[in-house]
Chains A and B, each alone.
Chain A
Amino acid sequence: MIYFRIIAARSIAVSVLVCSFFAASMLAQGLEKAPPLPAGMKGSDVNDPRAKLSPGLFDAGEISMGIKHLMLLRKPDAFQLGVDPNSPKVGKALTALGVPASAPIPAEVKMTFAGLAFANSDLAFQGNYLFLGNFYGMNIYDISNGANAKLVTSMLCPGGQGDVSVYKNLMFMSVEMPNGRLDCGEQGFPSPPPPAAGEAPQQGPPAAQKDRFRGVRIFDISDIRNPKQVGAVQTCRGSHTHTLVTDPKDKSSVYLYVSGTSFVRQNEELAGCSGGAPDKDPNTALFRIDVIKVPMDSPQDAKVVANPRIFMDATTGAYNGLNNGGTHENNSLSRPSDTDQCHDITVYPEIGLAAGACSGNGILLDIRDPANPKRIDAVNDPNYAYWHSASFSNDGKKVVFTDEWGGGMGARCRANDPNKWGANAIFNLKDNKLGFASYYKLPAAQTESENCVAHNGSLVPVPGRDIKVQAWYQGGISVMDFTDPSSPTEIAYFDRGPIDAKMLMMGGSWSAYWYNGRIYSSEIARGLDIFELTPTKFLSQNEIDAAKAVQVSILNVQTQEKTEWPRTLTVAKAYIDQLERSQGLSSKDVTKLRKSIQKAETSKDDVEKLRKLADSVEKNAASAKNEAEGIRLKELSAILRQPTL
Chain B
Amino acid sequence: MVFYSALIRFRFLKNRFSIRAARCLNPSGRWPLSIGLALISVACVPVLGQQSDPGGSPSVIQPGAPGQPSRVLASSTRAILPPRSMKDVEFMQGMIMHHGQAVEMTTLIKDRTQNKELRLLGDRISQSQADEMNFMKRWLQARGEPITMQMAAAAGSHSHGGHSSSKQMSMPGMLSSQQMSELKKAKGSEFDRLFLTGMIQHHVGALVMVKDLHDTAGAGQDAELFNFTTDVDSGQRAEIKIMQTMLGKTP
A residues adjacent to B (C-beta < 8 A): 1-2, 4-5, 7-12, 14-15, 26-27, 29-30, 32, 35, 73-74, 76-97, 101-108, 113-114, 116-119, 135-136, 150-158, 160, 177-179, 182-192, 194-195, 197-198, 200-201, 204-207, 209, 218-219, 225-232, 261-263, 265-266, 300, 329-330, 332-333, 335, 337-338, 359, 407, 409, 503, 506
Contact = CB atoms under 8 A, between A and B. Distances in A.
Contacts of B7: 85, 104
B151 interface: no
28 contacts: A4-B42, A8-B20, A8-B44, A8-B46, A29-B137, A77-B77, A78-B78, A82-B28, A88-B1, A91-B6, A95-B2, A104-B19, A114-B81, A119-B223, A150-B58, A154-B60, A155-B70, A156-B79, A178-B219, A183-B63, A185-B62, A186-B80, A191-B218, A204-B217, A228-B68, A229-B64, A230-B67, A262-B230
B4 A11 contact: no
Contacts of A150: 51, 53, 58
Contact of B120 (A184, A207, A333, A359): A333
A191 B234 CA distance: 26
Nearest to B25: A107
Which residue, A26, A85, A106, A114, has most C-beta atoms of chain B within 10 A?
A85
A226 B72 contact: yes
B37 interface: no
Given A15-B18, A114-B81, A190-B83, A229 B63 contact: yes
Given A77-B77, A153-B61, A189-B218, A117 B1 contact: no
Given A15-B18, A30-B137, A335-B245, A178 B226 contact: yes
A86 B5 CA distance: 10
B157 A201 contact: yes
Given A85-B26, A154-B61, A506-B224, 9 more contacts: A9-B47, A27-B141, A86-B1, A86-B29, A184-B64, A205-B217, A227-B61, A229-B67, A330-B242
Contact of B221 (A90, A92, A188): A188
B61 A156 contact: yes
A229 B65 contact: yes
Given A153-B58, A190-B217, A261-B230, A89 B70 contact: no
Contact of A228 (B30, B70, B142): B70
B62 A7 contact: no
Contacts of B44: 8
B228 to A, nearest CB: 9
Contact of A104 (B22, B80, B218): B22
A549 B61 CA distance: 36
A116 B227 contact: yes
10 smallest beta-carbon distances between A and B, as pairs: A91-B2, A191-B218, A82-B78, A93-B144, A191-B85, A11-B17, A179-B221, A92-B144, A116-B223, A5-B46
Interface in B235-251: 238-239, 241-242, 245-246
B46 A335 contact: no
B29 A29 contact: no
Nearest to A181: B65
Contacts of B159: 200
A151 B50 contact: yes
Contact of B21 (A11, A229, A300): A11
A78 B74 CA distance: 9
Given A190-B83, A204-B218, A228 B58 contact: no
Given A152-B59, A177-B223, A337-B238, A81 B141 contact: no
Contacts of A78: 60, 73, 77-79
B61 A102 contact: no
Contact of A8 (B21, B73, B223): B21
A89 B86 CA distance: 13
Given A73-B51, A230-B66, A11 B241 contact: no
Nearest to A211: B65
A117 B81 contact: yes
Contacts of A102: 6, 9-10
B217 A207 contact: yes
B66 to A, nearest CB: 5
A407 B230 CA distance: 11
Contacts of B135: 30
Nearest to B120: A332
B66 A89 contact: no
Given A104-B22, A151-B58, A335-B245, A80 B78 contact: yes
